[in-house]
């Protein structure tokens, strides 16, 4: 299936302990779409992501904000579900080359900077078909795992590639469900105290 790709440059801040106050903590993520991670109630182990059958491991998700919201609501009725940003992969370049220059040059002053916890790794085991996986977080049982360093991510991707396992980088973005309301008005992120409510990621950045 040769799905049409979109490409957006999304400004985002990495909520990494090692990057506090550093210029390197700010990124312009080249996003080709949304990845919907889900896991049924009571299930353990990796999160599941519907992906294409091509070698590019492109997540399959609705392309409108309304469609994404509807899909997330349906999955959350059965378990845990959250959005992540699917990052441009070298294998995508033949299909997005005409969009790349526009995405790099565009400067949208209305686009709010988002925040993300770190780099997630989507992978597909041999014979898994359209099911991709993201490992669970070691400390937070209701979250997918992430790497704070792109070098750590690249090292893991290289390890899996040498074993014939395709991968794609994703960004584990903050979302408003990650925040608790305290005293009726103070909102605190359960996974990173520095995260802010107003920079949580909704469905809009993923709408084509």
pLDDT in tens, 100-157: 656 555 555 446 789 999 999 999 999 888 999 999 999 999 999 999 888 999 999 9
Strand ranges, E, within the chain: 8-14, 26-40, 47-50, 79-87, 114-123, 131-134, 167-173, 179-182, 186-189
Of 49, 55, 52, the C-alpha closest to 4 is 52
Whole-prediction pTM value? Answer: 0.88
Residue 178 has pLDDT above 80, yes or no: yes
User: In degrees rounded to 5, what are phi and psi of residue 187?
Assistant: -105, 125
- For residues 94 and 158, the model is more confident at 158
Find out whether 40 and 77 touch, Cβ atoms under 8 Å. Answer: no
Find out whether 83 and 68 touch, Cβ atoms under 8 Å. Answer: yes
Q: What is each CA distance from 56 to 26, 61, 130, 147, 148, in whole angstroms?
A: 26, 15, 12, 21, 23
How is the chain split into domains, by residue range? Answer: 8-203
Report residue 22's pLDDT band, with 50, 70 and 90 as the boundaries.
very low
């Amino acid at each position: 299936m040769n799905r049409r790709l979109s490409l957006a440059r999304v400004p985002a801040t990495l909520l990494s302990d090692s990057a506090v106050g550093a210029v390197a903590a700010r990124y312009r993520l080249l996003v080709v779409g949304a990845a919907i991670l889900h896991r049924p109630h009571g299930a353990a182990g990796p999160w599941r992501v519907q992906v294409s059958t091509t070698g590019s491991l492109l997540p399959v998700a609705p392309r409108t904000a309304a469609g994404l919201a509807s899909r997330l609501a349906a999955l959350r009725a059965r378990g845990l579900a959250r959005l992540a940003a699917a990052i441009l992969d070298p294998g995508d370049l033949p299909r997005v080359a005409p969009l790349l220059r526009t995405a790099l040059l565009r400067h949208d002053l209305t686009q709010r900077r988002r925040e993300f916890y770190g780099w997630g790794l989507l992978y597909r085991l041999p014979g898994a078909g359209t099911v991709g996986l993201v490992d669970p977080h070691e400390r937070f049982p209701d979250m997918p795992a992430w790497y704070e360093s792109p070098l750590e991510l690249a090292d893991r991707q290289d390890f899996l590639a040498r074993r014939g396992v395709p991968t794609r980088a994703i960004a584990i973005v903050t979302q408003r469900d990650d925040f608790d309301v305290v005293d009726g008005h103070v909102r605190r992120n359960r996974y990173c105290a520095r995260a802010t409510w107003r920079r949580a990621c909704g469905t809009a950045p993923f709408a084509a």
